[in-house]
Chains A and B, each alone.
Chain A
Amino acid sequence: MKRIVHKHPLAIRWFHWINFPILFVMIWSGLLIYWAYHPYKIEVGDYTLLTFFPNGFFKFLNIPRRLAEGMAWHFVFMWIFLINGLLYVGYTFISGEWRHLVPDRNSFREAIQVTLYDLGFRKTQPPFIKYNGAQKIAYFSIMLMGIGSVLTGYAIYKPTQFSWLTRLLGGYKAARLEHFALTIGYVLFFFVHVGQVIRAGWHNFQSMVTGVEVVKANEPGQPEVTEPDDDQPVGPFEPTLSPIDSPTRPALS
């Protein structure tokens, strides 16, 4: 017998994975649009710290100037992104999944501890049910960023018809910059997310496909990975602990 924890409902898994190719198309086509006029850089005084993106970047990726194509893909897939996002948010609230996702006051303190743990300054993570504080903050922020991308996107797309929105966001140029900054945020999130998934290991990854995470039979508590070595004590920390971390096992809350 094995004990399984039902971690991700089917709908959540669909929305998550469908979003992946959509976001890829949105970022790619957005880059084609940005290429037509690419003024953003970070400057400290006269010194340019970072240019988004220099000509060499586009040459390296072999991206030609294809503004029309970029706009066409962007204005088609924006609908799919919007619909998928609305369904996700709607489902999260109707199903009660939001309880796992929305950070509370505790989450911020917990996130600091999780970060210390991730950086190796702390041996154990605080206990959590589905997502730890850092995950709650990250995933909830990404959802808010999605809403932000839709709103800033509309502010640029129809600045006259939705002029109240464009004004609210600080004007046309500001909305374009915000839209761009959010995209950079996704890209950064993507790398951290993938890194954390690799770190968390196969059992965690497969639960986003199968919906369930396998834990050792009759062990109460967390969705926890049992490594083949059954002698390891199981505690409420993230998977893929190195064996030296294992002996300390905090009590469940």
Chain B
Amino acid sequence: MSSSTKSSKGEPKLPEEDVPDSAVRRRMLKSFGWFAVASVVPIGIYNWIKRSPKAMGTLKPLRDILNTNEAIARTYFSNTHLVRTYPVEEAAPKARTNGYDGLKSPVPEDWKLTIETPDKQPLQLTIDDIKALPKQEIVYEFKCIEGWSQIQHWGGVRLSDFMAHHKLGTHSGNAPNPEATHDLFKYIGLETPDKGYYVGIDMESALHPQTLLAYELNGQPITAPHGAPLRLIIPVKYGVKNLKRIGRLFFADERPRDFWAERGYDYYVGL
């Protein structure tokens, strides 16, 4: 009954058959019945998501999938995937600032970077201690979670060099070895001196060769709105993780709290 002879162009004819009127009617009723039942499913899924409890500022099913996305992203994250860099002339002469959380008071006169490792004495460093290490510069496209981006020119010390020099980020107290993952703490937490802004960063991203503790913008010491005297520049993350005016840096195996993740954003925000 059904014919599927091919037309000259190679497109098959549609199969046809003769059926009683009652069979046609039955088919219509059945199909539209299923259609009606099936269209309840997306409404049900939507309602289920909407009625779920919140988990860190967003609905639990959404949070679970954002965390799953993180797990997937971390499988293909690689320190050899470098952020694209540009010639220094392309950098914006006036880098954009966005957000003043954690910067609402003046820069503390006695600013020091406090570094805490579990079961160890905290380390306190001045900006000169940090500038004593080899300087690294990067011109790359800074990306804000809002969607804008801008080519910016930053200078500072590689976070991985800094950690190697001060033997930080490991349980053993040795310099971090990216191969020996079991020895590394899983996260780095960062906070402004007033604790008004805080982020948590996975260790792989922190050890990325383009991640800097930055103290220069366009060759000049960074200004207060850009996070003087020391900020994080982590090109493999959106701007929200690039903490300005770092006061405290600590290591942990549990995710440190994170300002924007608590407000419903993805914790990882990896690029």
Residue numbers of A with Cβ under 8 A of B are 1-7, 17, 21, 33-34, 36-37, 39, 67-69, 71-73, 75-76, 79, 96, 99-100, 104, 106, 129-130, 158-161, 163, 166-167, 171-173, 176, 206, 209-212, 214-215, 217-218, 223, 253
Say which one of B65-73, B124-132, B180-188, B224-232 lies at the interface with A.
B65-73
* CB-based contact A223/B14 at 8 Å: yes
Which 9 residue pairs of A and B lie closest in terms of their CB atoms, listed nearest first? A68-B264, A37-B147, A210-B31, A72-B62, A36-B146, A21-B42, A76-B65, A37-B146, A6-B15
Between-chain CB contacts (< 8 Å), 15 pairs: A4-B16, A5-B16, A37-B144, A71-B266, A99-B11, A158-B270, A160-B83, A160-B235, A160-B271, A161-B78, A172-B141, A206-B28, A206-B31, A212-B24, A214-B24
- The residues of A that contact B38 with a CB separation of less than 8 Å are 17
* CB-based contact A68/B143 at 8 Å: no
For the complex formed, measure the closest distance between the CB of A252 and the CB atoms of chain B, giving whole angstroms.
10
* CB-based contact B31/A209 at 8 Å: yes
* CB-based contact A159/B147 at 8 Å: no
* CB-based contact B66/A72 at 8 Å: yes
Say which one of B2-10, B191-199, B244-252 lies at the interface with A.
B2-10
A6-B14, A76-B62, A76-B65 known; A33 and B83 CB under 8 Å? no
Choice from B18, B31, B265 contacting A68 with Cβ under 8 Å = B265
* CB-based contact A72/B59 at 8 Å: yes
* CB-based contact A99/B10 at 8 Å: yes
CB of B81 within 8 A of chain A?
Answer: yes
Choice from A3, A39, A100, A172 contacting B16 with Cβ under 8 Å = A3
* CB-based contact B73/A1 at 8 Å: no
Residue numbers of B with Cβ under 8 A of A are 2, 7-21, 24, 27-28, 31-32, 35, 38-39, 42, 57-59, 61-63, 65-66, 69, 73, 76-78, 81-84, 141, 143-149, 235-236, 260, 263-266, 270-271
- The residues of A that contact B83 with a CB separation of less than 8 Å are 159-160, 163
* CB-based contact B149/A172 at 8 Å: yes
* Given A69-B264, A167-B84, A217-B18, 6 extra CB contacts under 8 A: A33-B147, A68-B260, A71-B266, A176-B147, A206-B32, A215-B16
* CB-based contact B148/A37 at 8 Å: yes
* Count of A-B residue pairs with CB < 8 Å: 141
A37-B144, A210-B31 known; A160 and B81 CB under 8 Å? yes
For the complex formed, measure the closest distance between the CB of B22 and the CB atoms of chain A, giving whole angstroms.
10
* CB-based contact A75/B149 at 8 Å: no
- The residues of B that contact A73 with a CB separation of less than 8 Å are 62
- Rounded to whole angstroms, the CA-CA distance of A161 and B235 in the bound complex is 11
- The residues of B that contact A176 with a CB separation of less than 8 Å are 147
- The residues of A that contact B263 with a CB separation of less than 8 Å are 68
* CB-based contact B73/A4 at 8 Å: no
Choice from B32, B59, B76 contacting A210 with Cβ under 8 Å = B32
- Rounded to whole angstroms, the CA-CA distance of A210 and B23 in the bound complex is 12
For the complex formed, measure the closest distance between the CB of A23 and the CB atoms of chain B, giving whole angstroms.
12
- The residues of B that contact A158 with a CB separation of less than 8 Å are 73, 270-271
- The residues of B that contact A79 with a CB separation of less than 8 Å are 65
* CB-based contact A161/B66 at 8 Å: no
For the complex formed, measure the closest distance between the CB of B49 and the CB atoms of chain A, giving whole angstroms.
9
* CB-based contact A71/B147 at 8 Å: no
For the complex formed, measure the closest distance between the CB of A134 and the CB atoms of chain B, giving whole angstroms.
15
For the complex formed, measure the closest distance between the CB of A4 and the CB atoms of chain B, giving whole angstroms.
6
For the complex formed, measure the closest distance between the CB of B227 and the CB atoms of chain A, giving whole angstroms.
21
- The residues of A that contact B42 with a CB separation of less than 8 Å are 21
- The residues of B that contact A7 with a CB separation of less than 8 Å are 14
A34-B147, A158-B270 known; A6 and B2 CB under 8 Å? yes
